[in-house]
Amino acid sequence: MTPIEILAAVFVVVGTFFGFVATVGLVRLPGLYARLHAASKSDTLGSVLSLAGIAIVLGVSTESLKLVFLLLFLFVTSPTAAHAIARAAKEEGIEPTGEDARIGDEGGES
Amino acid sequence: MAGEGGRDVLVPVGDSETLRRTVTYAVERAYASVTEDADEGEVTVDTVGTPLTLHFVYPARWRTVEADPADVESARTLLDRVVAWAREDLDGLTAEDAPETVVFESSIVGTNEYVFSPGDFADVIAGYAAANDVQRVVVDPSFRPGGSAPILRSFEAELADRGFDVLEAPVTRRTRRSLPFTAIGLPEFFVVFSASFLFYLALGGWHVTDPYELITGVATAGVVAVTLASVALKGEVPNLRFVAATLARLAAYTPILLWEIAKANVALAYVVLHPRLPIDPRMVEFDAAVWGDMPVTTLANSITLTPGTLTVDVSRQHFLVHALIPDAETDLLDGKLERLVRFVFYGRESARIASPRERLDDREGES
């Protein structure tokens, strides 16, 4: 294995790890909003890292350029999608759950 | 009230190509509604005595509380010109010795608040309308206060939401250069066309000598530019130097954002995989000191991607953020991201504005 391939492998492994975290988070976290955190962050990083790993292996080529574009679009669309879901949930009146679920700045902050 | 005071008409005014014809339309409508009343025999001495008022309202578009005198001056000039036009139109409609049927008023609103989104503009217009008892609004379709970002609702929709009788002036934007289907100008078309063309070539492997690639590229870019140019650029050609500076600062911002994202994910992975699941979900509200749809979108997305925070709702610069882990809220109120976004879009000086926490403290001191 060349150093480049090792680097790429590291990217893919770390990416897969975060994909795994996203899945565990989706199952373990309570409530819609908390789960969205897992979906919007870990999942994005997971796929982005895996794509980056592949782009590294391919080197400078049209394919890796496409991967870079894909990566950029994921960075933009994934939080936007999470935001859209969260906003829809809020408009439906779904409350954030958890011991300390409350609206922040008005209730007096510690 | 609505029947009587509702006769008055409000026209939001701003720099737009079709402003002149919108004014004409508004005057014609106002005049027609006065004369219609007369035809139906509803005009009593009383209603003639109180002519219909046409309010021309200029929503302030400057972004700071302290306005640049030049901006105020140009707004005044524009309003004066609008009133002069309106008078001219009215004179064309009425006989010389006719009693005054329509009077004009002009005003600048929203000078004391941050306005940038369509909703914001609708709010200041609504405030003025309520103060003057106006129900009807004539809007100029090419006047787009606050831009037309897809994430935000349009100015007309926002006004209609506030209970106004919204009438869109039937003016089409003057096509200065005759392009098919849309009313975009040549510079806008060119910018979008070249961007799409280069993008097409890049995706196709940059075979710049292959005629097939070039021809299909031109066709594709042409379709994209014709159909999407007005959406992509909000009808404005960006200032190239400004865009270059923004892009350069964006390049500086990206590594910082990536680092923050990496930290966020490690923190989140720790929380998710921790046996006791040490989360502390809560909603945090704050007003971000960023204006404009691009900066707000960037900040909202950055917040979503970084430490345990998720943007739930954005209305103008008011953010509702769901924070999952305790540290997240602290980070958010320290305003690091916000400062960075400001740096990217407005340059270095603006990065020094106080953090949300400091601003929050200030506001609590006031109220």
Cα distance between residue A94 and residue A32, in whole Å: 8
Q: To the nearest whole angstrom, how far is the Cα of A11 from the nearest Cα of chain B? A: 13
pLDDT tens for each residue of B52-100: 788 888 877 655 445 567 777 778 888 888 888 888 888 877 766 666 6
- Residues of chain A in contact with residue B305, where contact means CB-CB under 8 angstroms, are 40-41, 44, 75, 78-79
Region B208-231: mean pLDDT is 85
pLDDT score of A31: 79
In the block, tokens 């439906």 appear at A92
Which of A65, A75, A99 has its CB closest to that of B202?
A65
CB contact under 8 A, B280 and A100: yes
- Residues of chain A in contact with residue B264, where contact means CB-CB under 8 angstroms, are 41
Q: Which two tokens stand for residue B7?
A: 């006769």
Cα distance between residue B77 and residue B56, in whole Å: 13
C-beta neighbour count of A106 within 10 angstroms: 8
Grade residue A10 by pLDDT with cuts at 50, 70 and 90. very high
Mean pLDDT, chain B, as a whole number?
74
Cα distance between residue B207 and residue B225, in whole Å: 21
pLDDT score of B173: 53
Which of B272, B305, B329 has its CB closest to that of A79?
B305
User: Which has more confidence, A103 or A85?
Assistant: A85
Determine contact, residues B360/B296, Cβ cutoff 8 Å.
no
Q: Name the residue in chain A with its Cα closest to that of B278.
A: A29
Select the residue from B277, B301, B314, B331 to test the A interface by mutation, using most A Cβ atoms within 10 A: B301
CB contact under 8 A, B265 and A86: no
Q: To the nearest whole angstrom, how far is the Cα of A6 from the nearest Cα of chain B? A: 20
Which of B261, B300, B322 has its CB closest to that of A33?
B322
CB contact under 8 A, B310 and A37: yes
| Chain A CB within 8 Å of residue B277 CB | yes
Q: To the nearest whole angstrom, how far is the Cα of B86 from the nearest Cα of chain A? A: 43
pLDDT score of B6: 57
> How many CB pairs lie under 8 A apart between chains A and B?
130
Burial string for B82-93 (b: 16+ CB within 10 Å, else e) reads: bbebbeebbeeb
Tell me which range, A2-11, A95-104, B289-298, is most confidently predicted by mean pLDDT. A2-11
Grade residue B114 by pLDDT with cuts at 50, 70 and 90. low
Q: To the nearest whole angstrom, how far is the Cα of A29 from the nearest Cα of chain B? A: 7
| Chain A CB within 8 Å of residue B202 CB | yes
| Chain A CB within 8 Å of residue B260 CB | no
Q: Which two tokens stand for residue B349?
A: 């000086």
Region A70-98: mean pLDDT is 81
Is the pLDDT at B113 greater than 70? The verdict is no
- Residues of chain A in contact with residue B330, where contact means CB-CB under 8 angstroms, are none
Cα distance between residue B230 and residue B104, in whole Å: 33
Region B233-259: mean pLDDT is 75
Which of A24, A80, A103 has its CB closest to that of B272?
A24
pLDDT tens for each residue of B314-331: 776 678 888 887 777 777
Determine contact, residues B265/A15, Cβ cutoff 8 Å.
no
Residues 6+ apart with CB under 8 A from B297: A80, B149, B151
| Chain B CB within 8 Å of residue A33 CB | yes
Q: Which two tokens stand for residue B184?
A: 């975009």
C-alpha closest to that of B267 among B257, B278, B256, B281:
B278
Span of B222-226, B235-239, B256-260 with lowest mean pLDDT = B235-239
Is the pLDDT at B39 greater than 60? The verdict is no
C-beta neighbour count of B105 within 10 angstroms: 14
Classify B110 in phi/psi space as left (phi over 0), alpha (psi -120 to 50) or beta: left
- pTM of the shown model: 0.54
DSSP string, B229-255: HHHHHTT-PPPHHHHHHHHHHHHHHHH
pLDDT score of B58: 82
CB contact under 8 A, A98 and B282: yes
Span of A81-85, A101-105, B20-24 with lowest mean pLDDT = A101-105
Region A26-53: mean pLDDT is 84
Determine contact, residues B343/B322, Cβ cutoff 8 Å.
no
pLDDT score of A16: 92
Q: Which two tokens stand for residue B331?
A: 């980070």
C-beta neighbour count of A14 within 10 angstroms: 18
Determine contact, residues B275/B133, Cβ cutoff 8 Å.
no
- Hey, which residues does B52 pair with through a beta bridge? B102
- Residues of chain B in contact with residue A52, where contact means CB-CB under 8 angstroms, are none
Determine contact, residues A15/A48, Cβ cutoff 8 Å.
yes
Cα distance between residue B240 and residue B150, in whole Å: 23
C-beta neighbour count of B39 within 10 angstroms: 8
| Chain A CB within 8 Å of residue B149 CB | no
Grade residue B153 by pLDDT with cuts at 50, 70 and 90. low
Q: Name the residue in chain A with its Cα closest to that of B314.
A: A87
| Alpha carbon of residue B34 to chain centroid | 33
Which of B264, B283, B310 has its CB closest to that of A104?
B283
Cα distance between residue B172 and residue B141, in whole Å: 8
Classify B173 in phi/psi space as left (phi over 0), alpha (psi -120 to 50) or beta: beta
Q: Which two tokens stand for residue B135?
A: 């129900």
| Chain A CB within 8 Å of residue B279 CB | yes
| Chain A CB within 8 Å of residue B300 CB | yes
Cα distance between residue B90 and residue A18, in whole Å: 68
User: Which has more confidence, A42 or B216?
Assistant: B216
Helix pair angle (B211-233, B186-203), 10° resolution: 130
Which of A24, A36, A98 has its CB closest to that of B310?
A36
Determine contact, residues A35/A22, Cβ cutoff 8 Å.
no
Determine contact, residues B337/B302, Cβ cutoff 8 Å.
yes
Q: To the nearest whole angstrom, how far is the Cα of B265 from the nearest Cα of chain A? A: 6
Which of A36, A42, A102 has its CB closest to that of B283?
A102
Distance between terminal CA atoms of chain B? Answer: 34
Q: What percent of chain B has pLDDT over 90?
A: 2
Residues 6+ apart with CB under 8 A from B324: A29, A33, A34, A37, B268, B271, B279, B280, B281, B308, B309, B310
